[in-house]
Amino acid sequence: MKILVTGGTGYIGSHTAVELLRAGYEVVILDNLSNSYKTSIEGIEEISKKKVKFYEGDCCDRDFVKKIFTDESIDGVIHFAANKAVGESVNKPRMYYKNNLLSLINILDSMVEFKVKNLVFSSSCSVYGQAEKLPVTEKTPLQKAESPYGNTKKIGEDILEDAAKADPVSIIALRYFNVVGAHPTALIGDNPDGVAESIVPIITQTAAGLRDKVTVFGNKYDTPDGYQIRDYVHVVDLAIAHVKAMQLLEKQKENFYDIFNIGTGEGASVLEIINAFEKVSGEKLNYEIGDPRPGDIVKIWADTAKAEKELDWKSELNMEDSMRDAWKWQQTITKKDK
């Protein structure tokens, strides 16, 4: 089967392409390289020892998307392509609504026109907002989104749930938590184009001497140590979850829609992440406490029982694995830049 991976040269998309290839799928990647690099293709192919087809273009370009479906016999889609920075979305909401929602609708339109049934959607735990009860399950009531980014994921899910009722498609939305780590080969990883906004690349860039310090956004929250808490899942574990989701869709009839939390089921504070990095790397981090960031959630972590039962998926890698792989990746790309 041939799977179209939108945003496939990006961080999560590239790791998912590797796991799809390992599972025996053919992979076609569509990416506009707005926050990734074409060199990811080389890493994917070196790890998997298989070739991928690459189209450079934008999912918001309806005609371009349609051309790919015309030229390729697509059997399923995994849709990652989206802007994803919480802080940027607060400052540029129109850009986020236009890009994240129009791209999704264009993909759906082509799927229906070309009779492609299966779609795995890259959603986010941000749809929960600041949940009143933790851990969150898939039945946890959704709060008002804390950022335009989170709202685009919530609206995206609404679009997909309605589409699955009306159109001949089957869809799974994966709500994943904070994604960290890199491939253990250090051939692909998180390499943001521009200023990194996620905590782990900021940590590794600081340790590599590319930044002066790590700014932690507040340490007086209502948590055990005062720092924000997240559920940090290794990117390889997450990539495998997408393969499991596609395999589940292949067993379903049309008009199927479901959602799954993808996390470790445990919360860790920003301070605990810093400590884990210092332990595995042997590096002492320079960090300071800054002001809280608009749009950020104080604490959240997942209940993953549904994914374990119905997807046959469970995270296998821990925080130290994630920090070790992220640091190895950072050292690799820093050497290349020199």
Structure tokens at 108: 């759906």
CB 291 within 8 A of CB 218: yes
Structure tokens at 330: 């950072």
Which residue type, as a one-letter code, is found at position 298? V
Candidate list 149, 176, 221, 232, residue with the active-site label: 149
CB 208 within 8 A of CB 285: no
For this structure, is 176 an active site residue? no
Please state, in angstroms and rounded to a whole number, the distance separating the CA atoms of residues 299 and 46: 38
Please state, in angstroms and rounded to a whole number, the distance separating the CA atoms of residues 176 and 130: 15
Strand-pairing partners, residue 54, are: 29
Q: Backbone phi, then psi, for 142, in 5-degree steps? A: -80, 130
Helices (H), the chain: 11-22, 39-48, 62-71, 86-91, 93-113, 148-166, 199-207, 235-249, 270-281, 305-306, 319-337
Please state, in angstroms and rounded to a whole number, the distance separating the CA atoms of residues 68 and 53: 11
Nearest to 316, CA basis, from 304, 334, 301, 299: 304
Cβ–Cβ contacts within 10 Å for residue 256, how many? 16
Strand-pairing partners, residue 180, are: 234
As annotated, the active-site residues are: 149
